[in-house]
Amino acid sequence: MKQLFIAGAWRDGVSVRANINPSDASDIVGHYAQADRGLAEEAIAAARAAFPAWSRSTPQVRADALDRIGSEILARKDELGALLSREEGKTLPEGIGEAARAGQIFKFFAGEALRCGGERLPSVRPGLDVEITREALGVVGIITPWNFPIAIPAWKIAPALAHGNCVVFKPADLVPGSAWALAEIISRSGLPADVFNLVTGPGSQVGQALLDSPDVDGITFTGSTATGRRVMDATSRRFARMQLEMGGKNPLVVLDDADLAQAVFCAIQGAYYSTGQRCTASSRFIVEKGIYPAFVKAVSDGLAALKVDDALKAGTDIGPVVDASQLAQDLDYIGIGRAEGARLAFGGERLTRGKTGHYLSPAFFVDADPTMRIAREEIFGPVACAIPAADYEHALALANDTEYGLSAGICTSSLKHASHFKRNVEAGMVMVNVPTAGVDYHVPFGGRKASSFGPREQGRYAEDFFTIVKTAYTGA
């Protein structure tokens, strides 16, 4: 059994949860300890006790620890990627790529620990100097989702530690394996005891303890918009800092002048790879009428060529849905789309692959209306719909007609339309002739409207959440 990590020691939990492979439900990845509220509060207390010394440690100490973590992750990326794919269901190349990204993130923030800046300014009043510095926020509660079980924890944990914060990490219940493997690497990195704590367990116990505790100075959360609203509710009542990354219903606009092959690549890669289980997935194809028939046929043909199978099997393009509950949700939405009058041009059927897995053929609806639920609500699976647009202006209006604003893409050869779209689409991230899903680790990540709240994640912008700005005056 894999234990919790609290106050520098491995600890038993109050119960044990089996980690099940979505490609083969008979395969138990491992058994993982579950914490309750009491154990979560112990972890919070440990982090609080460690904060004064850790926040005043030298940048070199923090950089060295993060660099060691990043180096080990990169050295073990194949092993960690296989574990990730086995427990989450994305293909092995995707799993290995995500593990490598986690290592690169830690390496980047090792450098950021040494790039701690500040300013010294003359006051407008004579005889005064002004210093502007950044200090660590404090104890940070980190709550992560199941769809990127090592990369998202990395891009929250690494900047937290780099800037001198202490961490209590609660991963999603579905994917404890990657979280535990990451925690085990961190436990040997040379961090002082208590600085980093891992508490796996239910949100009603562990997550709520983080939200309620006056000793947790900030919560960084990635998950659904509905849960994000509850996090905001609880955290704002005690004036703690929050960073929320939530849902998306991301548009991919395809104009008549687009390169068809490139547009189809962007559509299929952005909507269906990683089984469509990405908050940046493009689930709305908004297609100008001239290219619409050819686009629909080409996407259908492209989906027919994809192989849906065991995530660890060579040649698999799309792995299983993460669990039975998510599969049921996907199938429900496919039924809703049919009932609403959209035409299912391809897929949408449950598949069998010789094992008890959660396999679904990628579903492609066409002739959808923008008022349909499948065009408005986040499904979080391999389900997308095509919506016809009269012209560019109509396509832009459709793209912005959503409560979400995470990622948006356009396929066009027109510099005029690309430039206008980048400026006028209501999204935090914009992609031109590339898929909506897939971002670099050294640049800011986040959206607007119901997709994000608070400072950006990743890159140098991460310091806006994990640090507090201090202004100090000194008289001559």
Q: Write out the catalytic residue numbers.
A: 245, 279
Q: Give the single-character DSSP code of 457.
A: B
d(CA 74, CA 473): 44
In the chain, % helix, strand, coil (3-state, to 5) comes to: 40, 25, 35
DSSP 345-399: EE---EE--SSS--EEPPEEEES--TTSGGGTS---SSEEEEEEESSHHHHHHHH
**301 and 338 in contact (C-beta within 8 Å)?**
no
Q: Return the bridge partners of 129, or none.
A: 122, 474
| Assigned token pair, 464 | 């806006």
Alpha-carbon Rg for the chain, nearest whole angstrom, is: 23
Cβ(152)–Cβ(177) below 8 Å: no
Helix (H) or strand (E) holding 288: strand 282-288
Say how many C-beta atoms besides its own lie within 10 A of residue 444's C-beta: 17
Q: Roughly what angle, to the nearest 10 degrees, separates helices 260-272 and 292-304?
A: 50
Q: Rounded to a whole number, what is the largest CA-CA distance in the chain? A: 80
DSSP per-residue codes, 36-81: -HHHHHHHHHHHHHHHHHHHTS-HHHHHHHHHHHHHHHHHTHHHHH
Are 427 and 405 in contact, with CB atoms under 8 Å apart?
A: yes
Cβ 146 vs Cβ 155: under 8 Å = no
Query: What string of DSSP letters covers 203-254?
Result: IIIIIHHHHH-TT--EEEEES-HHHHHHHHHHHHTTT-EEEEE----EEEEE
